[in-house]
Chains A and B, each alone.
Chain A
Amino acid sequence: MYRKTMKRIKVDVKREVLRANDMLAETLRREWKDRGILVVNLLSSPGSGKTALLERTVEALKDKYRVLVLEGDIDTERDAERIRAKGVEAVQITTGGTCHLEANMVMRAWEEVSGEDWDFLFIENVGNLICPAGFDLGEHLRVVLISVPEGDDKPAKYPKAFMTSRWLVLTKMDLLPYFDFSPEKVIEEARRLRPDLRVFRTSAKTGEGIDEWVEALEETLHALRETGLSAG
């Protein structure tokens, strides 16, 4: 029987495994920057109040700005419907079981609405503090949320989410009297991972801290347009 002789070779490819995702993310980031659209990626555990914060945010921004929301979820259109009820366009991305968004999913959703002009694009990631932290979506600003009821040990347990985020939003601050939660401890631990982390203390229920958060978003949009760099 004829058999080809084989040789064994070793190739050092030195290839970053997620490079395809990162390259796509970079392309999106450039397109958004060139068009003057500030893109914000929101990360948190399930139930931390990402959608509630977004409801407040779009209410505050929608009269002055064109606001778009991409809602990442494993299944269901529920979060997108909550945003649409506020009179703002939302595109639901259902990941079909995947626990995080990837740049290609965002690109497909973006293509549906990229013909229009926007000022703000908010991406609500799948509720999960682990996997979303590893996937760049092309955002200019990554924001991590922690709610008072979920406890103040999150930065230590999920360091990557805090290392890669520029802003931290503490949510459900109206519940502070009922929980053993120390905002100071969270902030201190988070800043060990990200020394320049900017912190907001908010409650979507009472409206606490929402004005400050919205103003910071507006400032960042203007900084992106004026200098090409995102402030914050």
Chain B
Amino acid sequence: MHELTILQAIYLSLERVARQYGARRVVSFKLEIGEMANVVPELLEDAFKVLKAAEPLLKDARMEYEIVPLTLMCLECGYTGPWRDRTVACPECGSAIVRVIDGEDILLRDVELDVPEDHEEDKG
């Protein structure tokens, strides 16, 4: 149950972006959740409800997410794509010399904000 920890980290990022653009409300944000990020989306949604109630910045915010499959790059044959059979080996040539290049992290992507027309972006 570390979904609340993760959401707190998301909140800190959102707060920083909102401050930078002078926004008081986040309209929506999108997460890319790696298949191997060990996050249960349903629990994340529950935690989001708790956070929404507590933080005015997120009062009307919408959270969207997309699951990113674990993605390998084979250093022998060059295959780049999702893993198969839940095995960290190249699905094309069988080599074990592969790198995991995606699907392990949680990435905060598009954040939609309502910003006052006259606000100058704070570059600091």
Residues of A bordering B, CB below 8 Å:
4-18, 20-21, 98-100, 102, 130-131, 133-135, 156, 159-160, 163, 192-196
B109 within 8 Å of A (CB atoms) = yes
B93 within 8 Å of A (CB atoms) = no
CB A187 to nearest CB in B, in angstroms, measures 14
**Can you add 10 more A-B contacts, CB < 8 Å, to A5-B117, A11-B113, A192-B87?**
A5-B116, A6-B117, A8-B115, A13-B110, A16-B106, A16-B108, A99-B1, A134-B39, A135-B2, A195-B88
- Number of chain B residues whose Cβ lies closer than 8 Å to a Cβ of chain A: 38
Option from A102, A131, A160 in Cβ contact (under 8 Å) with B1: A131
A17-B10 in contact (CB<8A): yes
Q: Please give, as numbers and ranges, the residues of chain A lying within 8 Å of B105 by CB-CB distance.
A: 16-18
Question: Given A15-B107, A17-B106, A134-B2, do A7 and B37 touch, yes or no (CB 8 Å)?
Answer: no
Closest to A193 in B: B88
Instruction: Give CA–CA (A27, B106) in the complex, Å.
Output: 21
Closest to B38 in A: A134
Q: Please give, as numbers and ranges, the residues of chain B lying within 8 Å of A10 by CB-CB distance.
A: 110-113
Instruction: Give CA–CA (A4, B23) in the complex, Å.
Output: 12
Q: Please give, as numbers and ranges, the residues of chain B lying within 8 Å of A14 by CB-CB distance.
A: 107-109
Question: Given A7-B117, A17-B9, A99-B1, do A12 and B109 touch, yes or no (CB 8 Å)?
Answer: yes
Closest to A18 in B: B9
Binary contact track B10-34/A, C-beta < 8 Å → 1, others 0: 1011000100010000010001000
Instruction: Give CA–CA (A199, B115) in the complex, Å.
Output: 56
Which of A21, A130, A134 is packed against the most chain B CB atoms within 10 Å? A134
A-B interface pairs (CB < 8 A), number = 105
B76 within 8 Å of A (CB atoms) = no
Question: Given A193-B87, A194-B88, A195-B96, do A131 and B2 touch, yes or no (CB 8 Å)?
Answer: yes
Instruction: Give CA–CA (A196, B96) in the complex, Å.
Output: 9
B118 within 8 Å of A (CB atoms) = yes
B27-A8 in contact (CB<8A): yes
Closest to A162 in B: B88
Q: Please give, as numbers and ranges, the residues of chain B lying within 8 Å of A163 by CB-CB distance.
A: 36, 88, 100
Q: Please give, as numbers and ranges, the residues of chain A lying within 8 Å of B110 by CB-CB distance.
A: 10-13
A8-B113 in contact (CB<8A): yes
Q: Please give, as numbers and ranges, the residues of chain A lying within 8 Å of B87 by CB-CB distance.
A: 192-193
7 contacts between A and B (CB under 8 A): A5-B116, A13-B13, A17-B9, A99-B2, A160-B104, A192-B87, A195-B96
Question: Given A17-B13, A17-B106, A130-B38, do A100 and B2 touch, yes or no (CB 8 Å)?
Answer: yes
CB A98 to nearest CB in B, in angstroms, measures 7
